[in-house]
Amino acid sequence: MPFVPIASLLPNLELHGRWELVDASASSNRDVTYIHASWASASLTFALRSCKELYTVNLCFGPGTERKDRWNGAIPMLAVAVSFTNSVGLQRVTRTLEPCVGGTPAIRRLQMWPSVPPVQVDSDGACEVRITLIDWASVLEIEGFILEDEQSLSETKSSGITHSRILFIGDSISSGLSPDNATIPSLPHGVLDTYTYQCVAALNESARDDKPEFQAQVVAYPGIALCGENSTGMTEKFFWSSFWDKAPYKNMSSVASRTKVDSICIALGTNDMVSPATFRSALLAFIPRLATFEQTANAKIIFVLSPFIDFNDSARDQIADDLSTNPLPPTLEFASRTIRVVTVPQTAINDGLTAGHTLDGLHPTVAGHALIGRNLARVLREFLTDGL
């Protein structure tokens, strides 16, 4: 079966999140152009003519594919979701992939959907495949696919659907952190199990047919603060190629329109050991930079989420209290643009949440993420269902 380079397949791929295209000529030791992602939630979607072809598709990884944190609560690097229609109706099944078994260098070629043991894809018709980077501590390089026939991979039917994209900027809760000592992942599908995707799912469940479909994108990393000395905060790292590479992020021109977002949720503050005034000042300096950054320049509304509740700490969160009693200005003007700002209080986010919904008093279980996601969707729905 032939190797098909990723560069020739790009017209048929629907890419979301942060991807960068690295030309072979840019590296002295690489002879294949590849795509690169390191922020969890980056995904690529395509269609196959037949579900039977699933078992013949192999992913070809670049040598830079690695786990920066080999454990991360046993969360695998990738999720593969297959959507198809059978006699029952529209179905979707998901499995995970780990190219770096045991933290060793990546397997360069991996079967995307093993036929043994039997899997639950019960259809001979066409299917849609989405591959997502679900681990916050991984770097992913894809050089291409091995296919029976290059023509078997095509653009998805949903490529013409109008989407409203929500970008979540956050820390460990947004990125899907699991305890380091876990042998079974607390969040089996990593970032896909977090409140970010749960919120979008809740929004789509209640959306009318004539409204855009909501999609989530995430830029988040455990332990990160909004503020930070020596470029250690999200106010700087957001604009980097990756958490570990301070080179400026360069969006792929071929997918730029699919990565630009319509609204933003900023969920930071839990790790900020600064005064409420310093945090507020950093937020008000961060938002104008978002207004001029390619991925976020089209955003019409920004939601500032008060820090999540920590059941291990009985003291009141000063930043959360300050945001609740003194919200940010409802509108901000930048370069003849008006951006709406909504401050979401901690009580609205954590309504009904108990310590039992957390893994350790702070980080939610899957059920806890679902609860937070539904709570947040109720807030966002009021502002986003009027046609953003």
Residue 388 has pLDDT above 50, yes or no: no
Contacts of 366 (CB under 8 A, 6+ apart): 186, 187, 188, 193
Residues 293-323: tens digit of each pLDDT: 989 999 999 999 999 999 998 888 899 999 9
Last residue of a domain, one of 115, 139, 158: 158
Q: What is the pLDDT of residue 153?
A: 86
192, with CB counted inside 10 A (0-12, 13-18, 19+), is buried
What single-letter amino acid sits at 321? Answer: D
Q: Residue 89, by phi and psi: left (phi above 0), alpha (psi -120 to 50) or beta? A: left
In a shared domain, residues 178 and 57: no
Domain that holds residue 117: 3-158
pLDDT of residue 330: 94
The residue among 124, 158, 192 that closes a domain is 158
Same domain, 133 and 196: no
- For 352-369, b/e burial (b = at least 16 CB within 10 A) is ebeeebbbeebbbebebb
What is the chain's mean pLDDT, rounded?
Answer: 87
Residue 352 pLDDT > 50, yes or no? yes
Do 254 and 322 sit in the same domain of this protein?
yes
Percent of the residues in the chain that have a pLDDT greater than 90, as a whole number: 57
Distance CA 188, CA 182 (A): 11
Number of domains in the chain: 2
- Look up tokens 């780990």; give the residue: 98
- The residues that bridge with 215 in the sheet, in sequence order, are 165
Are 367 and 226 in the same domain? yes
Domain identity same for 269 and 359: yes
Structure confidence at residue 375 (pLDDT): 98
pLDDT for residue 119 is more than 70? no
Confidence of residue 265 (pLDDT cuts 50, 70, 90): very high
More confident residue, 105 or 81: 81
Q: What is the CATH number of the domain that holds 345?
A: 3.40.50.1110
- Judgement on whether residues 168 and 225 belong to the same structural domain of the protein: yes
Q: Say which residue, 255 or 53, is predicted with more confidence.
A: 53
Among 125, 158, 191, give the residue marking a domain's end.
158
Q: Which residue has the tokens 């977090």?
A: 194
Strand 301-305, strand 337-344: pairing: parallel
Q: Are residues 274 and 371 in the same domain?
A: yes
- How would you classify residue 304: left for phi > 0, otherwise alpha for psi between -120 and 50, otherwise beta? beta
**Residue 69 pLDDT > 80:** no
Residues 6+ away with beta carbon under 8 Å from 353: 309, 364, 368, 371, 372
For 68-161, strand residue ranges (E) read 78-85, 90-97, 109-111, 127-133, 138-146, 153-154
Calculate ∠ Cα 245-247-253, nearest 5°.
115
Does residue 6 carry a pLDDT above 90?
Answer: yes
17, 161, 180 from 215: Cα distances, Å: 10, 11, 29
Task: Determine the residue type at 239.
Answer: F
Domain identity same for 217 and 168: yes
How many C-alpha atoms does 225 have within 13 Å on its Cβ side? 17
Of 287, 302, 172, the residue nearest 224 (C-alpha): 172
> Which two three-digit tokens encode residue 176?
């899907």
In the chain, the amino acid numbered 204 is N
Is 65 in the same domain as 91? Answer: yes
Q: Are residues 177 and 144 in the same domain?
A: no
Is 27 or 118 the better-scoring residue by pLDDT?
27
**Tens digit of each residue's pLDDT (9 = 90 or more) over 12-44:** 899 999 999 988 877 667 788 999 999 999 999
- Flag whether pLDDT at 387 surpasses 50: no
- Please give the single-letter amino acid code of residue 328: L
pLDDT exceeds cutoff 80 at 179: no
Whether residue 252 is found in the same domain as residue 332: yes
Categorize the per-residue pLDDT at 116 as very low, low, confident or very high, splitting at 50, 70 and 90.
Answer: low
Q: How far apart are CA 250 and CA 153, in angstroms?
A: 26
* 183 and 268 fall within a common domain: yes
pLDDT tens digits along 147-178: 887 778 888 876 556 789 999 999 999 999 88
Q: DSSP assignment, residue 283?
A: H
The pLDDT tens digits of the residues spanning 190-244 come to 999 999 999 999 999 876 665 678 999 999 999 999 998 777 899 999 999 999 8
pTM of the complete model beyond 0.85: yes
User: Rounded to whole angstroms, how far apart are CA atoms 300 and 337?
Assistant: 9
On the question of pLDDT at 376 being above 90, the answer is yes
Q: What is the pLDDT of residue 104?
A: 64
Q: What is the dihedral of CA 379, 383, 386, 388, to 10 degrees?
A: -120
Number of Cβ atoms within 10 Å of the Cβ of 101: 13
Alpha-carbon dihedral sign for residues 112, 116, 121, 125: positive
Encoded tokens for 123: 């259809």
pLDDT at 262 over 50: yes
- Cα 59 to Cα 127: distance, rounded to the nearest angstrom: 17
- Residues 133-150: what's their mean pLDDT? 91
Residue where the block lists tokens 């749960």: 198
The pLDDT of 125-138, averaged and rounded, is 92
Average pLDDT over residues 75-93: 88
**Predicted local distance difference test score (pLDDT) of residue 191:** 97
What is each CA distance from 307 to 61, 222, 362, 386, in whole angstroms?
A: 37, 14, 11, 27
| pLDDT of amino acid 125 | 81
Average pLDDT over residues 2-10: 91
- How far, in Å, CA of 67 to CA of 216, rounded? 23
CATH code, domain with 12: 2.60.120.260
